[in-house]
Amino acid sequence: MGKMRLIRDAYGTTEGFCLVKSAAVRTDVKGTEYLDMVLADSEGECVAKLWNYSRITHGEYDANDIVKVRGTVQVWKDTEQFKIDRIRKATGDDGVDMSGIIPTAPYDPQAMFDELMNTAAAFEDEDLKRIVQYLLRENREQLLLYPAGVKLHHATRSGLLHHTCAVLKLAKAIADLYPSLHRDLLFAGAILHDIGKLRELDANTLGIAGAYTNEGQLLGHINVGVTMVAAAAEITMISPKTAMLLEHMILSHHGKPEFGSPRLPMFPEAEVLSVCDLLDSKMYEMDAALDGVSPDGFSERQWALDNRQLYKID
């Protein structure tokens, strides 16, 4: 884990904004309470201690709070830890840049959302235009924040939009090569293929998913996505056949039963979608695995990539 990006002055005092990953009140050998924390930002995390802790003086803190801290980095048992001198919760007036606190998609979420909406607005198929725009509008606030997973690929703030836009861009490039593809259907499937993750993941207002919902555990995002499209199809009164094609694309976008697909792709647009989805997820995982690896070196074995070690080209 990398070091946090807190600012250090000439006297060794360090301060900045960070995320509370965990916080617990403990008692030292003298019976005095102290606050035992793990603090993090987008660069890394560290153990932190606030000695002589007082709830009245210092306040109370929970996981996922954003705080401003001031203190010094010390070494204890060959490990760095942060000794907190001052701490408070961040407020709206602080103007905290969340991309520096939480791993965040590299593109502006509103711009990514607009890209999806603009693509749907250009559809010639009125049914596909109506249902895609409806689902995007109805879920806008969640889409701007939600990750695409708890771990693995795109498990970042706005990661679901990041992944969806990447799959859409891949689909557009492939559609230019194969003019027989139904472009509107392919692009609609790309936009909606992971819509069920909005109900599968238990994400908070910071865009962090710590667990799966009961619905996510029992049904999974594929089945939930099909249900969401079916409900939206009734509300928007689109053709039942169009709805069925979208539902099949969601059902089959993982490609194979062993990857979670209840159905294999059974028409070209569904096949292209499954290929784009797999490619983007693998590229994200490979980039993450090679981050920090020296040129001409190998990564650790990656469970999500068939336990492979990856080589970084010089």
What is the pTM assigned to this prediction?
A: 0.85
Q: Does the residue 311 lie in any domain?
A: no
**Would you place residue 111 in the very low, low, confident or very high pLDDT band (cuts 50, 70, 90)?**
very high
20 membership: H or E segment, kind and range: strand 13-27
Read off the tokens for 60: 């109370």
Pair 174, 286 in one domain: yes
| Contacts with 221 (C-beta within 8 Å, 6 or more apart), sequence order | 194, 196, 197, 199, 200, 201
| Backbone region of residue 227 per phi and psi (left: phi > 0; alpha: psi in -120 to 50; beta: other values) | alpha
CATH number at residue 164: 1.10.3210
Give the pLDDT of residue 133: 98
Pair 42, 128 in one domain: no
Domain-ending residue, one of 98, 129, 146? 98
Pair 154, 45 in one domain: no
Amino acid at 106: P
Q: What angle do CA 309, 311, 314 make, to 5 degrees?
A: 165
Pair 130, 267 in one domain: yes
Q: What is the spatial distance between Cα 38 and Cα 200, in angstroms, rounded to a whole number?
A: 27
pLDDT tens string 18-41: 999 899 999 988 899 999 999 988
Q: Does the residue 58 lie in any domain?
A: yes
Average pLDDT value over all residues in the chain: 91
Range of the domain at 25: 7-98
Domains identified in the chain, total number: 2
Give the pLDDT of residue 241: 98
Sign of CA dihedral 293, 295, 298, 304: positive
Q: Does the residue 309 lie in any domain?
A: no
Give the pLDDT of residue 78: 74
Domain-ending residue, one of 64, 98, 132? 98
Domain-ending residue, one of 98, 124, 143? 98
Mapping DSSP onto H, E and C, the string for 235-283 reads HHCCCHHHHHHHHHHHHHCCCCHHHCCCCCCCCHHHHHHHHHHHHHHHH
Pair 85, 143 in one domain: no
8 pLDDT more than 90: no
pLDDT tens string 220-269: 999 999 999 999 999 999 999 999 999 999 999 998 887 778 999 999 99
Q: Does the residue 247 lie in any domain?
A: yes
Read off the tokens for 36: 């035992």
Contact between residue 132 and residue 123 where contact means Cβ atoms under 8 Å apart: yes
Pair 206, 65 in one domain: no
Pair 41, 169 in one domain: no
Give the pLDDT of residue 139: 98
* Window from 64-73, 80-89, 94-103, 107-116 with minimum mean pLDDT: 94-103
| Contacts with 45 (C-beta within 8 Å, 6 or more apart), sequence order | 1, 4, 21, 38, 39
Pair 116, 245 in one domain: yes
CATH number at residue 92: 2.40.50.140
- The DSSP bridge partners found for residue 88 are 68
Q: Which of 209, 217, 229, 255 is nearest to 134 (CA)?
A: 229
Give the pLDDT of residue 1: 37
Pair 262, 131 in one domain: yes
